[in-house]
């Protein structure tokens, strides 16, 4: 809670005022039946019309006062809960935006999304409800019981019995129902999953003529869900009739027992009426309280999930006294005995990696899945920090540079090329918002994306859907490359960025890169040997270690791993070819 308390603090005065108005409102609600009783006892029974008018006027004034309180409560509650949510949402978002990948991976991105959206929303809704309604319930509940006790102590048992019976019933119902709710939620998820499978796997299902089988599976879940829902609905719908019954019975009990008190002169007739109202007010208040008990656990789940995010202390920070690279940066990148392992894992992903990538040269990294290629690239823009050794640019440890500055020097093309919603232009310009149209066009030409963009009706202004879902994989990759090119950084990182391209485009693109990036340091991770055969230096990774380094021809003889990869991909003649 301590993380959340910070965000509610600015509203302390507002909350105090709110409490005062809640008190005011419940005071009015509880006092009104007293006046009715007075009208009956002193006005009607004693036949005094003046009392009726004067008490009536007082009631009217009180009602208006109560109404004002209610409006103010609503106003404060809305302001406080929306303001709180705004601060909290910002805090969560800012925090996550500054997460390094290490911290990001503790959660999944979809989990982080729900935390920043649904969970915050959930807390806001509960807070607003609590402020508006639930605060009133204890005031009203306790107040009503006290009123009953003051008017007729001997009738207190009625109200207490009613509340106890209600409490017992609600407890039993929910003890049975809540576990079932969890099961239902799971079944609903399962049903969704099965439908999703029927849709995503439609080709395979049809190819193997398994329509029928999938149908049966779905029907089984569907039937189970139906039966469970019937059960739960029947349980829950007991609430309403039972409550009406309890209310009714307690009203009868009050009047019945009240009649004896009236006969013995301990109670006035008007008070019986007031009593019936207090009883129903108390029961309603109690019902409200039980609803709060159902809602609060749901909100605490959200609170816990948000606390988990806010309590994380970022690992990658800017140095206290940052160094800076000179304006004429060369881009000489060096790995010095670099080790890296993920947090909590025993085995190192990379160990003892040393190499130098020179400006104007292409350094290629090849190796099987899990050999640590992508991780190696991710270390350069400090998406992760090395756990041993150092990475330097022009001799300066990258950890001594401000992160912002470091990343300005790097053009990064990720393995999974994803785009942002917007236009083609906005996506390419994401690399450098200040890029001119000519620069954007240049980047697009080099990235071999000009042809398909020209085919589009809106050209550069064609819309890109979220995650770039409306362009093909190859087109996405080319746009991601253009995005990095437009930055014109001294260092380029390509993480298997040509995989979705066909051979022809791949070749043309590599040619264009070679012509245009003559002075840059280029690091390419690839699976396809043809992509990297011409690299100035090829680093062969296997299980996180460098097992070979050199040019294509040398490696064919010197590295067994490299030869194995080459043989699986190239034909005999190609192997011989220079």
Partner 1 sequence: MAKIVNRPFRGGSPRTLMKGKTEKAKNFKKTFKIFIKYLKPYRLKLILVLLFALAATAFTIASPKILGQMTDVIVRGLLNHNKIDFVQITKIGLGLICLYAASALFSYLQSWIMSKISQKITYSFRHNIAAKISRLPLSYFDHNEKGDIISRVTNDVETISQNLNQGLVQAITAAATVIGILIMMLIISWQMTLIALGILPLSFIFIKLIVKHSQHHYDTQQSSLGKINGHIEEMFSNHAIVKAFNGEERSINHFDDINADLYNSGWKSQFLSGLMMPLMHFISNLGYVAVAVVSGWLALMGKVSIGGIQAFIQYMNQFTQPITQTANIASVFQSTAAAAERIFEFLEEEEEKPETNNTPKIKNVRGRVEFNKINFGYFPDRPIIKDFTAQIKPKSRVAIVGPTGAGKTTIVNLLMRFYDIDSGEILIDGTNIEKMKRSDVRSLFGMVLQDTWLFNDTIAENIAFGKSGATREEIIEAAQEAQIDHLIRTMPNGYDTIISDSIDSISVGEKQLLTIARAILADAPMLILDEATSSVDTRTEILIQTAMEKLTKNRTSFVIAHRLSTIKNADLILVMQNGNIVEQGQHQELLDKKGFYYSLYNSQF
Distances (CA, A) of 331 to 328, 360, 363, 394: 9, 9, 13, 6
Shorter beta-carbon distance to partner 1: residue 450 or 507: 507
Distance CA 77, CA 82 (A): 8
Residue 279 Cβ vs partner 1, minimum distance, rounded to whole Å: 12
The DSSP-derived string for 64-125 is HHHHHHHHHHHHHHHHHHHHHHHHHHHHHHHHHHT--HHHHHHS-HHHHHHIIIIIHHHHHH
Q: What angle do CA 259, 264, 270 make, to 5 degrees?
A: 50
Contact 84, 8 (CB under 8 A): yes
Minimum CB–partner distance for residue 133 and partner 1 (Å) = 8
Q: Rounded to an integer, what distance in angstroms lies between the CA atom of residue 219 and that of residue 8?
A: 48
Q: How far is the CB of 205 from partner 1 (least distance, A)?
A: 8
Cα torsion for 145, 277, 130, 9, to the nearest 10°? -60
In this complex, which beta carbon is closest to partner 1, that of residue 219 or of residue 337? 219
Min separation Cβ 414 and partner 1, Å: 6
Residue with Cβ nearer partner 1 (341 or 427): 427
DSSP codes of every residue in 544-576: TEEEEEE-HHHHHHH-HHHHHHHHHHS-HHHHH
Place of tokens 């009607």: 44
Calpha distance 433→447 (Å, rounded)? 18
Half-sphere exposure of 188 (CA within 13 A, CB side): 8
Radius of gyration of the chain (CA): 36
Task: Work out how close the CB of 532 gets to partner 1 at its nearest, in angstroms, rounded to a whole number.
Answer: 12
* Residue 381 host element (H or E): none
Helix (H, G, I), strand (E, B) or coil at 320: coil
CB of 355 to partner 1, least distance (A): 21
Toward partner 1, which CB reaches closer, 185 or 354? 185
Choose between 31 and 332: whose C-beta lies nearer to partner 1: 31
**Cβ neighbours of residue 201 under 8 Å, at least 6 residues apart?**
none
**Smaller CB separation from partner 1, 171 or 215:** 215
Instruction: Name the residue nearer to partner 1 (CB basis): 222 or 387.
Output: 222
For partner 1, give the closer residue by CB, 160 or 232.
232
The least distance separating partner 1 from the CB of residue 217, rounded to whole angstroms, comes to 9
Give 3-state DSSP helix, strand, coil % of the chain, rounded to 5.
Answer: 65, 10, 25
Nearer to partner 1, 205 or 338 (CB): 205
Q: Are 262 and 40 in contact (CB under 8 A)?
A: no
Q: How far is the CB of 121 from partner 1 (least distance, A)?
A: 5
In the complex, the smallest distance separating the C-beta of residue 518 from partner 1, rounded to whole angstroms, is: 22
Cβ count near 349 (within 10 Å): 20
CB 416, min distance to partner 1, A? 9
* Residue among 354 and 567 whose Cβ is closer to partner 1: 567
E strand residue ranges, 299-358: 333-340, 350-357
Element (H, E) at 161: helix 156-200
- Let me know the angle formed at the C-alpha of 158 by 153 and 159, rounded to the nearest 5 degrees: 85
The phi and psi torsions of 517 (rounded to 5 degrees) equal: -110, 55
> Would you give the distance in Å from CA 105 to the centre of its chain?
14
Q: Which is nearer to partner 1, 315 or 564 (CB)?
A: 564
Closest to partner 1 by CB, 361 vs 421, is 421
**Min dist. Cβ of residue 216 to partner 1 (A):** 10
Minimum distance from residue 352 beta carbon to partner 1 (Å): 22
């Amino acid at each position: 809670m301590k993380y959340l308390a910070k965000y509610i603090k600015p509203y302390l005065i507002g909350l105090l005022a709110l409490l005062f108005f809640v008190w005011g409102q419940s005071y009015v609600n509880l006092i009104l039946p007293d006046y009715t009783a007075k009208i009956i006892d002193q006005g009607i029974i004693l036949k005094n019309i003046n009392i009726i008018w004067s008490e009536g006027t007082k009631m009217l004034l009180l009602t208006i006062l109560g109404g004002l309180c209610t409006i103010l409560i609503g106003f404060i509650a809305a302001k406080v809960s929306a303001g709180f949510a705004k601060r909290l949402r910002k805090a969560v978002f800012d925090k996550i935006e500054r997460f390094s990948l290490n911290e990001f991976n503790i959660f999944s991105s979809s989990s982080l999304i729900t935390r920043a959206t649904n969970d915050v929303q959930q807390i806001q809704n509960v807070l607003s409800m609590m402020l508006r309604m639930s605060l009133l319930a204890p005031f009203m509940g306790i107040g009503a019981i006290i009123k009953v006790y003051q008017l007729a102590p001997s009738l207190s048992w009625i109200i207490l019995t009613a509340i106890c019976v209600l409490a017992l019933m609600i407890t039993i119902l929910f003890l049975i129902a809540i576990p079932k709710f969890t099961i239902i939620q799971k079944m609903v998820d399962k049903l969704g999953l099965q439908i999703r499978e029927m849709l995503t796997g439609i080709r395979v299902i049809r190819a193997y003529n398994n329509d029928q089988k999938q149908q049966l599976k779905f029907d089984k879940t569907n039937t189970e869900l139906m039966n469970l829902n019937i059960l739960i609905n029947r349980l829950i719908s007991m609430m309403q009739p039972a409550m009406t019954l309890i209310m009714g019975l307690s009203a009868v009990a009050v009047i019945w027992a009240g009649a004896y008190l009236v006969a013995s002169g301990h109670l006035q007739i008007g008070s019986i009426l007031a009593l019936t109202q207090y009883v129903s007010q108390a029961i309603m208040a109690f019902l409200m309280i039980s609803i709060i008990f159902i809602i609060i656990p749901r909100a605490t789940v959200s609170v816990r999930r948000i606390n988990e995010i806010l309590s994380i202390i970022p690992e990658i920070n800017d140095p206290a006294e940052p160094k800076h690279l000179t304006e004429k940066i060369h881009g000489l990148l060096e790995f010095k005995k670099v080790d890296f392992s993920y947090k909590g894992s025993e085995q190192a992903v990379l160990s003892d990696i040393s190499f130098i990538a020179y400006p104007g040269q292409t350094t290629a990294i090849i190796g099987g899945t899990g050999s640590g290629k992508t991780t190696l690239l991710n270390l350069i823009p400090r998406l992760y920090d090395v756990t041993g050794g150092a990475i330097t640019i022009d001799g300066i440890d990258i950890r001594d540079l401000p992160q912002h500055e470091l990343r300005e020097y790097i053009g990064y093309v990720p393995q999974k090329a994803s785009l942002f919603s917007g236009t083609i232009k906005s996506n390419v310009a994401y690399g450098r918002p200040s890029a001119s149209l000519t620069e954007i066009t240049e980047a697009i030409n080099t990235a071999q994306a000009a042809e398909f963009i020209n085919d589009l009706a809106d050209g550069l202004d064609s819309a890109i859907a979220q995650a770039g879902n409306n362009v093909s994989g190859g087109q996405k990759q080319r746009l991601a490359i253009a995005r990095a090119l437009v930055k014109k950084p001294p260092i380029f990182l390509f993480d298997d960025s040509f995989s979705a391209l066909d051979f022809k485009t791949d070749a043309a693109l590599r040619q264009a890169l070679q012509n245009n990036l003559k002075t840059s340091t280029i690091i390419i991770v690839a699976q396809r040997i043809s992509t990297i055969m011409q690299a100035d230096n090829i680093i062969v990774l296997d299980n996180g270690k460098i097992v070979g380094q050199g040019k294509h021809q040398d490696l064919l003889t010197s590295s067994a791993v490299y030869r194995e990869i080459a043989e699986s991909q190239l034909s005999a003649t190609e192997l011989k070819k220079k």
